[in-house]
Structure 1
Amino acid sequence: MFKRLMTTGLLFGMAATAPPATAQGCAPRDYIVDKLENRYAESLAGAGLQGRSQAMLELWSNPESGSFTVLLTSPEGLSCIISHGSDYFAIEQKEGIEGDLG
């Protein structure tokens, strides 16, 4: 009995300290882009195709405010906000360097 109570207490304790689940916002790309451009003054800073799914990973940013948003857009035009935040800064590629920087 004591072991069951202890286990139950530990499980509830771990659940209480777990980070909250973040709702992933998805909508038609045009709708999200309109909000990013008009509400946050963000513009497209970079993009690339993701694997075989051909989903487009997009980075939107506002260099003045530092806000940024990462979108994943399906070929059907549905975009999901993967991440967003503040303190964005761009790194300029040095002249003569091409390809993978890693």
Structure 2
Amino acid sequence: MRIFTLILAAGLVIGAATASAQTRANCAPREAVVERLADRYGETRQSIGLGSNNAVIEVFASDETGTWTITVTSPNGIACLVASGQAYETLAEALPAKSDDA
């Protein structure tokens, strides 16, 4: 039983170290992230908002290639990539009309 516990603990430590390394690989000073998105993917900021803990949420996209990236920048200036993809489109949809039943 003790050997199983040690193996399980070692697995958890390795898993945590791997997750930490992946997180750091997706984060950098905001200026460097914005420059890389522009230079490598032709993406520019399309929208911005304020998230929890004063984090700045930004969507970058390229009208030419359709690629997009969502970043979260913490108050210390470190930006992390949280999602990316293809087929970006800008939309301006109106709110649905309210019915009298509401």
Whole-angstrom CA distance in 1 between matches of 2:41 and 2:92: 23
Look up the equivalent residue of 2:77 and give its one-letter code: G
- Taking only aligned residues, the RMSD between alpha carbons, in angstroms, comes to 1.5
SS in structure 2 opposite 1:92?
Answer: coil
Look up the equivalent residue of 1:89 and give its one-letter code: E
- 1:69-84 equivalences in 2 (<5 Å): 69-84=69-84
Give unmatched runs, 5+ long, in structure 2: 1-18, 96-102
TM-score normalised by the chain length of structure 1: 0.66
* Cα displacement string for residues 41-98 of structure 1 (whole angstroms, at most 9, x for unaligned residues): 10000010002x000000000011000000000111000000011111110245xx6x
Look up the equivalent residue of 2:71 and give its one-letter code: L
Q: Report the equivalent of 1:85.
A: 85
Q: How many residues align?
A: 73
Whole-angstrom CA distance in 2 between matches of 1:34 and 1:63: 17
Look up the equivalent residue of 1:76 and give its one-letter code: N
Q: How high is the sequence identity, in percent, across the aligned residues?
A: 33
Q: Report the equivalent of 2:61.
A: 61
Runs of 4+ off more than 2 Å: none
Determine which structure has the larger helix proportion and give its number.
2
- Following superposition, the deviation at residue 38 of structure 1 comes to 1.0
Whole-angstrom CA distance in 2 between matches of 1:37 and 1:75: 22
Whole-angstrom CA distance in 1 between matches of 2:91 and 2:32: 29
Q: Report the equivalent of 2:32.
A: 31
TM-score normalised by the chain length of structure 2: 0.66
